[in-house]
Amino acid sequence: MLAIFGLAFLFIKNYGQSKKWQRTAYASALVLISVTLFFTFSRVVTLIGLTFLILWLAVIYLRQREFRRPIIFIIFLLLAIGSLLLAIYWPYISARYDLATLGESQAVNLRFFYNQLAWRIIKASPLLGIGQGNFVWTFANLSLFENWIYQPVHNI
pLDDT per position as a tens digit, 77-109: 999 998 999 899 898 888 777 767 666 777 778
Chain centroid to Cα 80, Å, comes to 19
The least confident of 21-30, 113-122, 144-153 is 144-153
Cα–Cα distance for residue pair 97/47, rounded to 1 Å: 10
Look at residue 154 and tell me whether its pLDDT is greater than 70. Answer: no
Average pLDDT over residues 61-80: 92
pTM exceeds cut of 0.85: no
Categorize the per-residue pLDDT at 121 as very low, low, confident or very high, splitting at 50, 70 and 90. confident
Look at residue 73 and tell me whether its pLDDT is greater than 50. Answer: yes
Higher pLDDT, 125 or 99: 125
Mean pLDDT: which of 48-52, 145-149, 150-154 is highest?
Answer: 48-52
Asked if residues 74 and 30 have their Cβ atoms less than 8 Å apart, the reply is: yes
Look at residue 58 and tell me whether its pLDDT is greater than 60. Answer: yes
Average pLDDT over residues 5-29: 87
What angle do helix axes 68-96 and 43-63 make, rounded to 10 degrees?
A: 160
Average pLDDT over residues 10-16: 85
> What was the pLDDT predicted at 16?
81
% of the chain beyond a pLDDT of 90: 22
Categorize the per-residue pLDDT at 156 as very low, low, confident or very high, splitting at 50, 70 and 90. very low
Asked if residues 41 and 96 have their Cβ atoms less than 8 Å apart, the reply is: yes
Indicate the DSSP class of residue 147: G
> 93 — phi, psi (to 5°)?
-70, -45
Question: How many other CB atoms are there within 10 angstroms of residue 8's CB atom?
Answer: 22
- In the chain, where are the structural domains located? 2-97, 102-155
Indicate the DSSP class of residue 1: -
- Average pLDDT over all residues of the chain: 84
H or E stretch at 76 = helix 68-96
Residue 89's Cβ-count burial label (10 Å; 0-12, 13-18, 19+) is middle
